[in-house]
A and B are shown apart, each in its own frame.
Chain A
Amino acid sequence: MRPPSYWPFVVPALVVVLAIIIFPWVFTIWMSLNEWKVGSATTFVGFSNYLRLTSDPRFLEAVGHTMVYTVLSVVLPLALGTLAAVVFHQKFPGRGFLRGIFIMPMMATPVAIALVWTMMFHPQLGVLNYLLSLVGIPAQLWVFHPATVIPSLVLVETWQWTPLVMLIVLGGLAAIPTEPYESAQIDGASFWQVFRFITLPLIMPFLFIAGMIRMIDAVKSFDIIFAITQGGPGSASETINIYLYSVAFTYYDLGYGSAIAVVFFLLIVLLAAVMLYARQRMLWTEIASRA
């Protein structure tokens, strides 16, 4: 019997994917090679939009902001999410319900929570400065000062996305066999030793996946930054994605915007490749050190 073909099941989705994912990509690449502004004629300009990027100070500054924002928004949720996963791995009554509460920040509508964070960041009336004053820390300007705006936004991002890291690591913890823990207990290992030498190495693959997903989302972060600061004050929190928005939909410079979109995508792929490479290196050194 000839095995049945399953193509008819896939075709409708294929059409949709071609129309809304593949076509936009091909068209974006074509647009990036043109001078293409809304309301004026388009001309083919080759790679000049890409050359323009290399000497656009606002773009280069945005790359810097994106890098700082991303590194912090990967590292902090990874650390906190791992700790949270270790706690949620224990058995206690009401665990399912509390886990539901814990993941609320990442499911909530980003614009809605951004609005409340903006109120909490308010220098005079905000609850955050009040809380700081209780422990004797002077009032901060949070998102209203160039020096503190990125750390403040990272605070929101960390609050929002630590739960995702927790869920992924929790999945990893569930897969760990119990034998190593039993022998460690017999040997009288401390909690920290158990975590450092048994748990951490075993959940490394999951931490890596969580880090990768976190990186992709943090680089692309838009809603929170746009709704709270719109890239301000000045351009102190303007990331690549926010700059891309201004170029394409404030100045309607679609050709240049497309070039930014292409470079932005390649940058994300490059970062992912670097992370994969670093992971491979780590595995090899680990194996080499055992030999």
Chain B
Amino acid sequence: MTSSQINLRQIVGQIGLWLSVFVIVSPAILFFLWMASLSLKFEVDNAAYPPVFIPDRIAWKNYADVLASNRFLTYFVNSLIVTGSATALALIVGVPAGYGIARMAAHKSAIVILIARITPGLSYLIPLFLLFQWLGLLGTLVPQIIIHLVVTVPIVIWIMIGYFETTPMELEEAALIDGAGRWQVFRHVALPIARPGIAVAFILAVIFSWNNFVFGIVLAGRETRTLPVAVYNMISFDQLSWGPLAAAALIVTFPVLLLTVLAQRQIVAGLTAGAVKGG
């Protein structure tokens, strides 16, 4: 084989590779570009056939309209509160739990996490809906914060068990021999090492809580909707104004998409380790 033949083979291989990469990535790219295009067009262009891909006039007003409606701001704040609280609470109880389970090698307790993973979200809703009704909590954000723990707590525990199992124990043992308490060891030795693992758990808990829809449609009232529920309700109201609808959809999912691209490495690590998803 001459060197020019090898070169030719390499070039053909490279072209084939890039072609396959293009084919594989394009459904995702084209979809989100089309979403952006819908959100930036006036109704005339959105109702045109054949479809207009890049409009002559850009309708920034779609975004302005969505953001200007004061309810949208309320729903955004609701989403922030629910996701923020559910994630914070999950980290507070879940990180120590993951540590304890990993150190006790209590692998059987992971079965509970597995059950939580298999159970359809609606099954939790029936009894908890009644419970919240009895407690008179419907109409506040508390029920949603609590039920989002169903999503966030298993994610955090699962990822932290995996993470603490890989962190070295020598330092912790040395600290214990030196007379440090278990809590001090956890706080000053184990926790700092586990920071990357906590980041992974945090990111995934935030994303799956933010995206959650099924809990909100049952538990949220008019004032307590989170963004996914608010967007769903917009569908039934303005079936035909695609521009603002697409703009709202993009606003809701934009934080998640940004996080996905920025924290791609952590997300991939977390998903392949635990392969968790809530709800």
Contact = CB atoms under 8 A, between A and B. Distances in A.
Interface residues of A, number: 84
Interface residues of B, number: 94
Interface string A19-36: 011111101100100000
Contact of A111 (B157, B231, B267, B272): B231
B100 A25 contact: no
Most buried by A among B93, B116, B127: B127
Nearest to B35: A116
A99 B112 CA distance: 32
Interface string B258-276: 0111001101100110010
Interface string A70-85: 0000000000000110
B20 to A, nearest CB: 5
A107 B176 contact: no
A109 interface: yes
A20 B146 contact: yes
A283 interface: no
A12 B17 contact: no
Nearest to A212: B275
Contacts of A101: 25, 28-29, 261
Given A84-B24, A125-B51, A249-B218, A222 B121 contact: yes
Most buried by A among B94, B97, B106, B186: B97
Interface stretch (B2-10, B60-68, B70-78, B206-214): B206-214
A264 to B, nearest CB: 6
B237 interface: no
A149 interface: no
Contacts of A119: 38, 242, 245-246
A5 B94 CA distance: 17
Most buried by B among A104, A110, A254: A104
B123 A28 contact: yes
A90 B83 CA distance: 37
Given A6-B104, A222-B122, A116 B34 contact: yes
Given A20-B147, A116-B31, A111 B213 contact: yes
A24 B261 contact: no
Nearest to A166: B24
Nearest to B119: A265
A59 to B, nearest CB: 14
Interface string A203-245: 0000001000100110010110011000000000000010011
Contacts of A248: 122, 125-126
B54 interface: no
Interface in B205-245: 207, 210-211, 213-214, 217-218, 227-229, 231-232, 235, 242, 245
B88 interface: no
B51 A127 contact: yes
B198 interface: no
Interface of A: 4-10, 12-17, 20-25, 27-28, 31, 83-84, 87-88, 90, 92, 96-105, 107-113, 115-116, 118-120, 124-125, 127, 130, 159, 163-164, 167-168, 170-171, 209, 213, 216-217, 220, 222-223, 226-227, 241, 244-245, 248-249, 254, 257-258, 261, 264-265, 268-269, 272
Contacts of A84: 24
Contacts of B250: 112
A12 B92 contact: yes
Most buried by B among A13, A15, A171, A265: A13
Contact of A9 (B122, B186, B245): B186
Given A97-B261, A116-B35, A130 B50 contact: yes
A168 B275 contact: yes
Given A16-B89, A24-B127, A25-B123, 6 more contacts: A9-B99, A104-B261, A109-B228, A119-B245, A125-B51, A222-B122
6 contacts: A20-B153, A21-B112, A105-B27, A223-B213, A249-B217, A261-B120
